[in-house]
Amino acid sequence: MSSPNTPTSDDQLIALAKDARERAYAPYSNYNVGCAIVTADGAVFTGANVENASYGLCICAERNAIAAAVCQGHRDLQTVAIVTQSSPPAAPCGLCRQTINEFCHVPSELRIILVNLKDERRDFSLAELLPHGFRGEHITP
Ligand code: THU
């Protein structure tokens, strides 16, 4: 999903993440997660978690949304909204934090909005959730 040129508000992004959560496939955990992201050029992408009977194959909502963005050529994440059923709203797992970091230029400027079904909300930057994250710049030839 992509809608460049139209600024997306936080409320719109949260609504899209809730909608995506409805399409989660999580029969093993019954823990449904939805994610919506805006990239630097204003494009919007969504994802939900997709589980598998072989548990190690489960994929998080955030990484599905990011993969959708990257596969459409959008590599610069700006804002990530995540909807869970947890109270307080849950923060992304470590794998997803690192994946967000891969597609973020300035971790202190990337916004992560956490929301639950009661509309409780917590806002963080990626730098707050992943301080001192490992980055490609650390790899020296
Ligand atoms: N899950 C996500 O989608 N995102 C996270 O950041 C944490 C966990 C999913 C994976 C699995 O399908 C379910 O939540 C329970 O762990």
Give just the sign of the alpha carbon dihedral 55, 128, 66, 137.
negative
- Tell me the C-alpha distance between 100 and 134, whole Å: 11
- Specify the pLDDT at position 87: 98
Ligand 1 atom with the smallest distance to the CA of 33 is 3
Phi then psi dihedrals of residue 17, to 5 deg = -65, -40
CA within 13 Å, CB half, 139: 4
Nearest CA to ligand 1 atom 9: 60
Q: Whose CA is nearest to atom 2 of ligand 1?
A: 60
Report the alpha-carbon distance of residue 83 to residue 12 in Å, rounded: 13
2-131 CATH choice from 3.40.50.12780, 3.40.140.10, 3.10.20.30, 2.60.120.380: 3.40.140.10
How far apart are alpha carbons 78 and 95 in whole angstroms? Answer: 18
Q: What is the pLDDT along the chain (141 residues), one digit of tens a residue?
A: 545 556 789 999 999 999 999 999 999 999 999 999 999 999 999 999 999 999 999 999 999 999 999 999 999 999 999 999 999 999 999 999 999 999 999 999 999 999 999 999 999 999 999 999 999 999 987
**d(Cα 35, Cα 93) in Å, to the nearest integer?**
13
Domain range list for the chain: 2-131
**CA of 10 relative to ligand 1 center, distance in Å:** 22
The residue whose CA has the least distance to atom 8 of ligand 1 is 60
- CB of 29 closer than 6 A to ligand 1? yes
The alpha carbon of 9 and the centre of ligand 1 are apart by a number of angstroms equal to: 25
Please tell me the predicted confidence (pLDDT) of residue 140. Answer: 83
Instruction: Determine the Cα–Cα distance for residues 46 and 40; give it in Å rounded to an integer.
Output: 15
